[in-house]
Amino acid sequence: MLHQFDTNTFSKGLYSGWLGRHFWYFEQLDSTNAYLAAKDARHTPHGLVCLCDEQTKGKGQYGREWKSPAGQNLTFSIVFKPVGNQCLKTLGLACAYSVAELVSSCVSVPVYLRYPNDIYAGDHKIGGILTEGSFNGNSLERIITGIGINVKSQQLPNGMETKASSIGNLSNGTSIPPRETLMSQLLTRIENNYLHWEAKEMKFLRQMNRTLFGYGKWVYLREGDKVMENRYKLLGVNNDGELCVLNEDLDVKVFSHEQIRVHEFAEQN
């Protein structure tokens, strides 16, 4: 029997200061990001969370579909309205890092981030982030960050099913908290990490970088469907959200677009 998300249980367990205090719940939506994007920015306050029990046309990286069956996962979007336009790309990473912290407390395998927006537990994708900003001229109106986490389901976009898993499957037989508890715990983590992000703390950026797949190792990079010929040492992400690598001539190269992905580890010297 499917368990519908209980908003009362969630509210009672929520200890954040502002994140999730405005909470919109729906049994089904095409996409929480799309739903919020269609709303006037004036009517979507900072810290608003929109969650649906069943998402039928969610969107992931490269426009892939992200469906989530009813009553099994966590699919939601958050509205942020930060002051200024700097460091926006690292906000999605801060949210992904918060998800990784939560998942790490529930599973027995290493959890890491795959640049720019995937959360993996062991060899399996367990969640993803999609961040979309809207501007009025040069002024930022809001950022909508969509988050999908496989709590029970293994369903992922077409072509990625074999790479998917869930918190339940990777918990090594240990009972995991209900979705309402996981959600309230996650929002507390995101709010706390948002404050570190807002303060542009270098210590926090280093913590996030250490969870990146391939950090400090020689890796190959993929742009779209093409793997680059040369290998690079992954240095991490800078404050502007750019991926920084060292080539074999010991020159630093910076990639600013999200089509770059870390493909695989190379042989260590």
Domains of the chain from N-terminus onward: 7-210 (3.30.930.10), 218-265 (2.30.30)
Instruction: Render pLDDT for 105-135 as a digit per residue (tens, 0 to 9).
Output: 999 899 999 988 899 999 999 999 999 998 8
User: Is residue 261 within 8 Å of residue 114, measured between CB atoms?
Assistant: yes
Supply the pLDDT for residue 159.
53
Examine the pLDDT at 10 and tell me if it is beyond 50.
yes
User: Is residue 105 within 8 Å of residue 204, measured between CB atoms?
Assistant: no
Report the C-alpha dihedral over residues 144, 95, 23, 63, rounded to 10 degrees: 40
Supply the pLDDT for residue 48.
98
Among the ranges given (8-17, 52-61, 248-257), the one the predictor scored with the smallest mean pLDDT: 52-61
Supply the pLDDT for residue 119.
96
- What is the Cα–Cα distance from 40 to 141, expressed in whole angstroms? 10
Q: Work out the pLDDT band at 67, boundaries 50, 70, 90.
A: low
- List Cα–Cα distances, 71 to 151, 163, 180, 207, in angstroms: 10, 21, 11, 33
Strand partners, 131: 145
Instruction: Render pLDDT for 164-219 as a digit per residue (tens, 0 to 9).
Output: 889 988 887 678 999 999 999 999 999 999 999 999 999 999 999 999 999 999 99
- What is the Cα–Cα distance from 136 to 125, expressed in whole angstroms? 35
For 4-24, the DSSP string reads ---HHHHHHH---SSTTSSEE
Supply the pLDDT for residue 135.
87
Q: Which helix (H) or strand (E) holds 71?
A: none
Identify the residue whose tokens are 């040369």: 230
CA atoms within a 13 Å half-sphere pointing along the CA-CB vector of 249? 4
- What is the Cα–Cα distance from 49 to 161, expressed in whole angstroms? 28
Give rounded-to-5 percent helix, strand, coil for the chain: 25, 35, 40
Calculate what percentage of the chain has a pLDDT beyond 70.
88
Q: Which helix (H) or strand (E) holds 59?
A: strand 49-59
Supply the pLDDT for residue 69.
73
Supply the pLDDT for residue 58.
62
Supply the pLDDT for residue 97.
97
Instruction: Render pLDDT for 142-165 as a digit per residue (tens, 0 to 9).
Output: 999 999 999 987 555 555 555 788
Q: How high is the mean pLDDT of the chain?
A: 88
Supply the pLDDT for residue 269.
45
